[in-house]
């Protein structure tokens, strides 16, 4: 089985992946069926494991940021965990934080399970199905001390993004923090040729999706009762919005 991944094709591009094969298998869910022609192909590894070179490449900067921002203890939720390559490193880096991986895609959930089975990480839970664009999911995931979302916002619509930010805010405990990471416009502009090309390819396949603006993101998080602690510049021209639920 071949699995298609969204992945930018030069180093200015942001790292992304999207399993289009499994999207067509999932009814009535907010998985987008179109993928841009810039998709590359990845071969799954053993035991249902998926390997995204993009996730491997950006893992260390993401883990370093999470180590700084997330609390030492409590409950952490990762939305759209993807292959599972990030969560195993995160759970090892924050061993007293109880980590819950999730994804909408059953193939991804199987992959997360396989990556998780490599190591005995007592603080890493079995991955769960979570459609983060569905209104109301937070009611089953309240009191989170940390929520991580990497590389999904550019693959969904504006209204779905509003829903996710609102649900993250509802899911967070008072003083809980979240990191929302991905490629974004800066002041309405696409700032590298790679970002222009990737955004245009996303729009060409689905006009509802594509890069969101950084200033719009700031408005949205504030509207949902989240204080913006800072915006971190990340490798490959990505941004990480670091927010905290107001006490
Ligand atoms: C670009 S990949 C990023 C995966 C991972 N966070 C990473 O950075 O390697 C996007 C992920 O979002 C998941 N996804 C797509 N739509 C979703 C939704 N509505 N709710 C939750 N996850 C979703 C896909 O299944 C896929 O695993």
Residue span of the structural domain in which 45 resides = 3-245
Identify the residue whose C-alpha is closest to ligand 1 atom 25.
105
Residue 131: predicted pLDDT: 97
Rg, the chain, Cα only = 17
Distance from residue 152's CA to the centre of ligand 1 (Å): 5
**Who lines ligand 1 at CB under 6 A?**
6, 16-19, 30-31, 52, 55, 79-82, 86, 103-105, 108, 130-133, 150-152
Counted domains in the chain: 1
* Per-residue pLDDT in tens (0 to 9) along the chain, 247 residues: 444 444 443 333 343 443 333 333 333 346 665 555 443 334 587 788 898 888 989 999 999 999 999 999 999 999 999 999 999 999 999 999 999 999 999 999 999 999 999 878 999 999 999 999 999 999 999 999 999 999 999 999 999 999 999 999 999 999 999 999 999 999 999 999 999 999 999 999 999 999 999 999 999 999 999 999 999 999 999 999 999 999 8
The residue written with tokens 């021209």 in the block is: 237
Distance from residue 87's CA to the centre of ligand 1 (Å): 13
What is the pTM (predicted TM-score) of this model? 0.90
Residue 150's closest CA among 51, 53, 247, 241?
241
Distance from residue 32's CA to the centre of ligand 1 (Å): 10
Q: How far apart are CA 169 and CA 137, in angstroms?
A: 11
Residue 36: predicted pLDDT: 56
68 Cβ partners below 8 Å, 6+ apart?
none
What ligand 1 atom has the least distance to the C-alpha of 31? 16
Q: Output the six-digit token pair for 211.
A: 């890069």
Residue 48: predicted pLDDT: 85
- In order, the DSSP letters of 66-85 are HHHHS-SSEEEEEES-TTSH
Residue 212: predicted pLDDT: 98
CATH number at residue 156: 3.40.50.150
34: alpha, beta or left? (left if phi > 0; alpha if psi -120 to 50) = beta
């Amino acid at each position: 089985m071949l699995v298609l991944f969204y992945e930018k094709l030069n180093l200015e591009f942001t790292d992304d992946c999207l399993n289009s094969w499994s999207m067509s298998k999932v009814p009535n869910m907010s998985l987008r069926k179109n993928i841009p022609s810039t998709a590359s192909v990845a071969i799954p590894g053993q035991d249902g494991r998926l390997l995204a070179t993009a996730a491997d490449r950006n893992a260390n900067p993401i883990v370093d940021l999470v180590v700084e921002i997330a609390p030492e203890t409590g409950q952490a939720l990762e939305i759209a965990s993807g292959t599972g390559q990030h969560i195993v490193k995160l759970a090892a880096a924050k061993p007293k934080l109880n980590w819950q991986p999730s994804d909408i895609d059953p193939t991804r959930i199987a992959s997360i399970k396989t990556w998780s089975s490599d190591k005995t990480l007592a603080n890493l839970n079995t991955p769960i199905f979570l459609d983060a664009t569905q209104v109301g999911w937070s009611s089953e995931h309240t009191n989170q001390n940390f929520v991580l979302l990497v590389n999904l916002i550019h693959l969904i619509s504006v209204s779905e993004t509003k829903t996710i930010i609102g649900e993250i805010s509802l899911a967070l405990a008072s003083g809980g923090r979240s990191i929302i990471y991905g490629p974004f416009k800066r002041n309405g502009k696409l700032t590298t040729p790679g970002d222009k090309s990737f955004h245009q390819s996303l729009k060409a396949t689905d006009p509802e999706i594509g890069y969101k603006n950084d200033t719009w993101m700031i408005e949205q998080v504030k509207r949902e009762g989240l204080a913006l602690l800072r915006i971190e510049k990340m490798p490959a021209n990505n941004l990480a919005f670091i927010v905290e639920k107001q006490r």
